[in-house]
Amino acid sequence: MSESPDARSLLSASSQLNLMEVDPIDDKEFDIPQVDTPPTLESILNELEDEEEPFVLEDTCMLNTDNIDAHSCDTSSLASSDSGDPAHLKRKKRTVDLNVSVHGSVLRHSLLKGISAQITSAADKVDAGLPTAITVSGVIAVGTSHGLALVFDTNQALRLCLGTKATGAEFGAVSALSINHDCSRLLCGFAKGQIAMWDLANGKLLRTITDAHPPGTAILHVKFTDDPTLAVCNDSGGSVFELAFRRVMGMRSCDSRCLFSGSKGEVCCIEPLRAPPDIRDHPVTHYSLLAMASLTKILVIGLKPSLKVWMTFPYSKSDPSSVPQLAWQFVPVQKTVNPILAFCKGDTVHFLLVKKEETGTIHVIKQRQLHLSCDIISLSWINSRTLVLVDSHEKLQVVDRPSQEILETLDLEQVQLVYNSRHFKSLATGGNVSQALALVGEKACYQSISSYAGQIVYLGTKSAHIMTLRNWRERIDCLLKQEHFVEALSLAWSFHEGTAKAVVGLFGDPVKRKGVVGDKMVEILLQFAEHALKKCPEQGKIQVMEQHFHDVVPVLVDYCLLLQRTDLLFNQLYARLVENVVAKGVFLESLESYIIADRLGLLTTPIMKDLLAHYHDNGLMDSLERCIVHLDVTSLDIQQVIRVCWENQLYDALIYVFNSGMNDYITPMEKLFAVIGPPLNEGRSLTDEEVVIGNKLLVYISCCLAGRAYPLGDIPEDLVDQVKHQVFEFLIRLHSADSSEEEEVFPFIHTLLHFDTREFLNVLAMTFEDFKNDKQALEYQQRTVDILLQVMVDNPDFTPSQVGGLFTFLARQLAKPDNTLFVNRKLFDQVLEFLCRPDDDSRHTERQQVLLELLQVGGVVQFDEGKLLALAETAKFYQICEFLYEKKHMFDRIIDCYLRDPLRKWEIFSYIHNLLSMPGYSPEEKQTVKDKALQHIQELMTLDPSKSADLVVVHFAEEVQQIISEFQDDELLFKFLSCLLESREGHPPGITLPLERDLHELLLDLMCRFASQQLLSFLQTSQHYRLEEAIQITQKYHHSEATVYLLEKKGDVHGAFTVLLETLQKKLSLLTAESNRGGEGGQTRQDEEDEKDGDSTLMRVEDSLNDIIALCHRSSQNLDQPQREVLWFPLLETMMAPQKQMKEPNTKNTSEVLKELTMKVLNSMSSFISLPAIIQRILQDPVYGKGKLAEIQGLILGMLDTFTYEQTLLETTTNLLNHDLHWSLAHLRAAVTRGLHPRQDYCNICLQQYKRKQESAEEIIVFSCGHLYHFQCLQQKDYGWGYASEQQQQWSCYKCSSSQRGRGGPSTKPKRGCSTSLAQTCVTSVHHDEGAEAHRKKVFVEATLDLQQEQSWDQLRCLYRGPSRLSILSELSHCHSNEKTGLLIPAQPGTESFQLKLSPPPLLEE
């Protein structure tokens, strides 16, 4: 059975609307019956259904799907799945979205069954046609496609059927409807342009208006304004007209006035501002505002007192098919209610606030816009904060305007929404509308959606539907039906806090509202607990049960605490949860986070007892401790808690209970000292747990002395001083309560000092900061300091660091301006002597660091610094010495400190550099430091030659000669000079060293002695030595390689050659001697290259020979022939001489190698000396001049082979070049002389045969493109290029040039492929005259390549892309141009980098 709430009028639903700050609706005006007690949701749901169903408050969750018409719809809200169908429930659970479910189901979507049935029945039985338009006010009117208007009352009963089928045939379909504010008149607009006015009281036709707008256009909108005699209409021509109704002498008439012409931009939506009954006298209503939306902009105009445009607003860019939307709403803004116009076209909703200024003008203020990701086709206000939108996919979205949040989404697909496309296209009158308006009309559904008093009615093709906001209880109950308890509680809490959106049904002041919602939440919490216990899995893993309750119990606790209902939590809910052991455990554990967050401070005794037992049994001692220190002590069983804490070492909780429960701050300290005291007294190292306890103790003492409670909070103000004094009294006790005979005096201070001296002293220092005017506290301070000195001074148990820490602490206290402490100065002297004991090497660095801290505090300024300096020097405390010297400005002595200190001696360079560079030191001080540094310069060099050199370059450049003269060690001097001159290279050019060349030559001398392998690279990179002196130095130390480099650099090639030749001769002599001795040297093989003592003699000969050949090669380029012979022939003789001396059989291997080397010399010579000269020189040699050529046969044959190779190479190259040249010229000639074949036998200009008259000697011109012209025709078109004689006139093809010019303008640069002739051919019809031959010869002599020939030449060059072989030959002959003769052809430019390509030339396709 379908059940429905009892509601007799549309307005009974709107009476529940929450209009926020707007005045409440007047019940009398809307005829709402008085109700003493509003019905509850349960009573409404249990009422029996009436015979005539009201259409308001119909809840789809109560509808039986069997009785609903096939075209009606159920809600598709993701958050409001209320159907009783189990499958439906499952589906919704899977898709639930927590973000949406926070709002629950906001809209109630109901099918208007009565109206839907009547619409269908009227269409079937009386041929009323399909529904086309709907409007709602105090009644509902539905227009049909056959021109009828059906009027229904609030009970969905059909009251009137207006019009007949005859009028429908004449006027067409109803395309627009409007009801005036008192529901007495109905305006109907028709598809063929007529407008009819009906009296809703008796169904009488009052007016038929046919001339209000141009004929042939459909009515798109017709709307009443607040004035019952004034309406506006909008037609499919895009024009807007004002309709003024008159009644004179019983005659009804209508005056029409054009407000906006469609010729200026078509309007497709209009919306007059209509005020609710309670604010009819709003100042803005006197202007009778009308909003109009054209395809490009919004206009707001005033119809009264005279027509005026108040505002225009263009759209942002949007889809042309998007439908403009307008909607007015009165909204409370800053304690005043003003109308807001919402408008959109596409996906952005704009809001305009309209206000009346005191001056009487309308002021429009732009508000924050709303961006959505959909194309909106309908826009309606459902209350002053909430909008309902429909997008082009027929998805309905409820949007909260202030937060711009989408509260709910519903699917309207099953509604089968009616669209007004036919009327926008004006099909009834022939479709004479613009394409733009017809495109917008595709999605137009203006007449299918109507809103009134918080309700929106949607018209489907066979049904009508209504949307209203659910009240707050319904929204919660919808979630409860789906067993979404967490979401229901979240939603209820948002109602409680006033953060919920679209709230309906909550009245009264905030306190009353919270009370009502709180009661509902208590009800939900109890339901949730019962549901959780009932749904708990009885069997299975314990983890599953735990997880089940973990999802429930924290939620229950959270909301109970939010509602401040601990009675509900501990009495009713806990009493139910205790029945399940797992639920009880989860409950007790979940309390921890709330206790720690101080949201729950007081537990009942039974709960506390269970909490202790549960945490203890499950080993959750850390959690228990965290809970105890946050709980109110009054709820604890102190004895039980102390016992549990002591057994489980929960010291934080123990301290908290003693402090808060019994105001006892001393007992916890005694207990903690009892834990860490014994192991410290026995000298044992503490365990990690004992260290944690010791740290707790220090923090606890610090808190007590600072007035803070441990572990959190503050000590009550009246107890602060008392606690402080108690703690001091305890610390300075002479003996503990249960002391033994062996116990030392002041055991507590003793223990803390042994545990962590520095931290204990820090605690005291922080405490002493607060002792200003408290006399008692100052006495404790002095007493504590005396005890500290008594315990620590002269006590071997404490390290120097600990004793130094004490005196640093004391020095800091004494240095304070308001110091009241007294310390015997002799003690400081004792400590200084103790720290500076020279016989104690242990902890040297530590003792020095402590003393330095003590000095830096400033507590010992008044002590004898001379004595302290003597002590520091004796103890080798160089940092202390530095500190004291710096105070006395004895900076030179600090250098000694650095040099003696093994840990910091390398920092001396930075110190000297910084002191000499930085301002703030006097010139005298800097000079003493410079003098001291110069005294120790050798020590500095030994430390780091590189840094010393940097220092000298920057600060001691003038004293370089003095520094060098004092050097004793030459090797150290070499290192220093290397770094000095290397460093000099990296410094800016402003720094110059005196006698720099002398320094480089000195370095060269030392390098010859100590690093000869670096000699050559030094000479090559350095530019600061003098050549003559450098040559003398290298000759002195017999470094031949360096001498040769310098001689060659000087330009003395022969000198360099002589040196290298001598070296080679020495090595050859050694080789000859070894070979003739027949020792191991004679058997040296060439592959023995990795001997430890160097290369073999033979390898050294080869290296030396390579060096000398390289020198001759480099030099020969710049020498003439005789000078070259002076170099090469002595080398050849030197190489040939040893071969004559090697006669022994065992020298055969060496002899072969020497012959190869001699051939190498000959091959190298042949590049610079002619072969005949070489042969002549060999033959003149006395050794070879005895007629026996056998010895030199190999040399001569080798030379002949070289000659033959070069001759063959030359001939091959010449043949290739000749072939290429012939090939290129032949193809050029063929291309130039190729015959041309005309495409047509007529002129392309005059279109006549080229032989117009057989007799006339008429010239014709043929182009390579195949076009043919008469000479005169072409001349008339003026397509010549030159201004020279007729014979040299250059022509271009008229047809091809014209088409090219049409495409891209004239081209001055001829392009490949353009139709200009390769050879311009003149053809005459008769014989030439006598001078033609001579003339032709003359032309040939003077001719140059025309553009077509140049183009052909370019094509040929591109076909052969290799380098020119002419240039190859030029390069090959370049080296021998002075000696060799032959065919030399100059190279073409740009071909210096060539490759020899011996492939045949490419073939050109004919």
528 or 232, which is more confident?
Answer: 232
Q: What is the DSSP letter of 310?
A: E
Burial class, 878, CB count within 10 angstroms (exposed 0-12 / middle 13-18 / buried 19+): buried
In sequence order, what are the beta bridge partners of 408?
398
Query: Can you give the pLDDT at residue 1061?
Result: 81
* 14-28, 47-61, 1170-1184, 1392-1406 — most confident range: 1170-1184
Q: Is the pLDDT of residue 1028 over 90?
A: no
CB 568 within 8 A of CB 556: no
To the nearest whole percent, how much of the chain has pLDDT over 90? 14
Beta strands in 164-307 (DSSP E): 174-179, 185-190, 195-199, 204-209, 219-224, 230-235, 240-248, 251-260, 267-272, 289-294, 297-302
By residue count, the chain amounts to 1406
In three-state form (DSSP H/G/I as H, E/B as E, the rest C), the secondary structure along 936-975 is CHHHHHHHCHHHHHHHHHHHCHHHHHHHHHCCCCHHHHHH
Q: In this model, does residue 81 exceed pLDDT 70?
A: no
How far is Cα 844 from Cα 699, in angstroms, rounded to an integer? 32
Give dist(CA 277, CA 300) in Å, integer: 22
| pLDDT score for 496 | 87
Of the ranges 57-71, 355-369, 1188-1202, 1225-1239, which one carries the lowest mean pLDDT score? 57-71
Q: Give the angle 556-561-566 at the CA atoms, nearest 5°.
A: 90
- CA 1170 from centre of chain: 75
Contact 751, 739 (CB under 8 A): no
- Sheet containing 386-391, strands listed edge to edge, beginning at the edge strand earlier in sequence: 376-383, 386-391, 395-400, 405-411
CA distance 1315 to 1292: 8
Return the pLDDT at 466. 93
Confidence of residue 63 (pLDDT cuts 50, 70, 90): very low
Inform me whether the pLDDT recorded for 396 exceeds 50: yes
Q: Which of 144, 168, 160, 166 is CA-nearest to residue 198?
A: 160
Choose the weakest-confidence range: 469-473, 706-710, 1086-1090. 1086-1090
Query: CA 241 to CA 234: how far, in whole Å?
Result: 6
pLDDT at 743: 65
pLDDT at residue 87, as a whole number:
32
Which tokens belong to 747?
């055991």
pLDDT at 292 over 90: yes
Would you say residue 1307 has pLDDT above 80?
Answer: no
With tokens 């809600």, the residue in question is 75
Could you say which DSSP state residue 1242 is in?
A: B
User: Is a pLDDT exceeding 70 seen at residue 1254?
Assistant: no
- What pLDDT is attached to residue 1232? 80
Q: What is the mean pLDDT of the chain?
A: 74
Alpha carbons 241 and 149: distance in angstroms, whole number: 23
CB neighbours of 314 closer than 8 A, spacing ≥ 6? 296, 297, 298
Instruction: Count other C-beta atoms under 10 Å from residue 830's C-beta.
Output: 16
pLDDT above 60: residue 483: yes
Question: Which of 928-942, 947-961, 980-994, 1379-1393 bottoms out in mean pLDDT, i.e. has the lowest?
Answer: 1379-1393
pLDDT score recorded for residue 1182 = 59
Average pLDDT in the 145-170 region? 90
pLDDT above 50 (res 1386): no
For residues 555 and 1129, which has the higher predicted lDDT (pLDDT)? 555
pLDDT at 135: 94
pLDDT attached to residue 1113: 82
For residue 869, give the amino acid letter.
L
Looking at 1132-1187, which runs of residues are DSSP E strands?
A: none
Confidence of residue 335 (pLDDT cuts 50, 70, 90): confident
**Whole-model pTM over 0.85:** no
Helix and strand counts by DSSP (H, E) for the chain: 53, 32
pLDDT higher than threshold 50 for residue 19? no
* Gyration radius from the chain CA atoms: 58
pLDDT tens readout for residues 582-639: 888 888 888 888 888 888 878 887 878 888 888 888 888 888 878 777 777 777 777 7
Q: What is the pLDDT of residue 31?
A: 46
Checking if the pLDDT of 55 tops 90, the result is no
Q: What is the pLDDT of residues 193-202, one digit of tens each?
A: 999 999 999 9
- Report in angstroms the alpha-carbon separations of 1070 from 4, 273, 451, 1074: 129, 124, 122, 6
Between 962 and 374, the more confident residue is: 374
d(CA 1257, CA 186): 99
Q: State yes or no: pLDDT of 1369 exceeds 60.
A: no
Model confidence pLDDT, tens digit, residues 166-191: 888 888 999 999 999 889 999 999 99
Instruction: Note the pLDDT of residue 1374.
Output: 56
Closest CA to 1013 of 984, 1045, 1042, 976: 1042
User: How many other CB atoms sit within 10 Å of the CB of residue 57?
Assistant: 22
